[in-house]
Structure 1
Amino acid sequence: MGITIKKKSLYALNLILLLLLVACQQSSENLNFKGDSENWSAKLNVVKTDNDKETKKFELQFKGKDYKSVENLEFKINAPNYAWGMSLIELNSTGVYKTHKNETGEFSTSKTDVIDIEVKWNGEVENFSLNNKE
């Protein structure tokens, strides 16, 4: 009879541990925003977790043939709940610039957001929007 009580206790303990593990798992939401203009294509990937954290990966690609001619490159991202940008950036050997940003708290991105992008280079400016591609 002692073994049965020990087995029941062990099963109960395993069940409790399993429930705790399931409850502690974080779920995430993956949002993919895309858009382009005459000379630029951009993607913004946002991974949201339950603990109010967002990881944003931004990719900006020059659509022209001579990416080496691009100088004084800068971009600005304007979303409903945040804005950020960078200046004096350089494209890689395939004409792409990539960056990522980790944020916590009120900087929340919604799947219905429209993200406005401004790109400046060589004295030129182009504005376009990114939309979520579900």
Structure 2
Amino acid sequence: MKTKLLLSLFIISLLLTGCGTKLLVFTGESENWTAKITTSQQDDLQESEIFLEYKGADPSSVKEFNYFVESNVENYGREGATLNKGGALREKGNMNRGSAKVTEKTVIEVLIEWNGIEETLTLKQK
């Protein structure tokens, strides 16, 4: 009886934990890059994760690069970023508290600079 009660409470707490969380995924690509920004929203908190992948044949040719994320809601970026051996970067983006949040209609621009080259990717909600 006690085990059933504990199991029931555990399942209910798992269900309630996911309530109110909204997940938005924005994707886009350019000639040399693929980008994905995943945004999780709950109450007044918005957290983002960015994933960038170099599509070229030799990821080691990208020593360091800069990226800048821009939308009508948030702007952030990083200089001196490096790719892993697979040619990708994944990191936490921006954390935002308040009423300004991305929506399904938000368009996000990602500017990437590397080896004297610039490309802008337009990300839209998937």
Q: Report the TM-score, using the length of structure 1 for normalisation.
A: 0.77
CA RMSD after TM alignment: 1.9
- Give CA-to-partner distance per residue, 1:79-113, whole Å, 9 cap, x none: 11110000101000110011113321144111100
Unaligned runs of 5+ in 2: 1-14
Q: Which moved more, 1:117-126 or 1:68-77?
A: 68-77
Partner of 1:74: 66
Partner of 1:15: none
Question: Given that residues 35 and 121 in structure 2 are in contact (C-alpha distance below 8 angstroms), is that contact kept between their aligned partners in structure 1?
Answer: no
Question: Using the alignment, how far apart are the partners of 1:129 and 1:114 within structure 2?
Answer: 7
2:49 is equivalent to residue 27 of structure 1: no
Q: Report the TM-score, using the length of structure 2 for normalisation.
A: 0.81
Deviation at 1:117, TM superposition (A): 0.9
- Give CA-to-partner distance per residue, 1:13-71, whole Å, 9 cap, x none: xxxxxxxxx99985111100000000000000001112x10110100000001100102
Q: Which moved more, 1:95-104 or 1:36-45?
A: 95-104
Secondary structure of the corresponding residue to residue 68 of structure 1? helix
2:42 is equivalent to residue 37 of structure 1: no
2:111 is equivalent to residue 118 of structure 1: yes
Name the CA shift for 1:63/1:105 in 2 (closer, same or farther; >3 Å): same
Unaligned runs of 5+ in 1: 1-21
Partner of 1:58: 50
Question: Using the alignment, how far apart are the partners of 1:64 and 1:23 within structure 2?
Answer: 43
Q: Which moved more, 1:96-105 or 1:79-88?
A: 96-105
Aligned residue pair count: 111
Deviation beyond 6 Å, 4+ runs, structure 1: 22-25
Larger Rg: 1
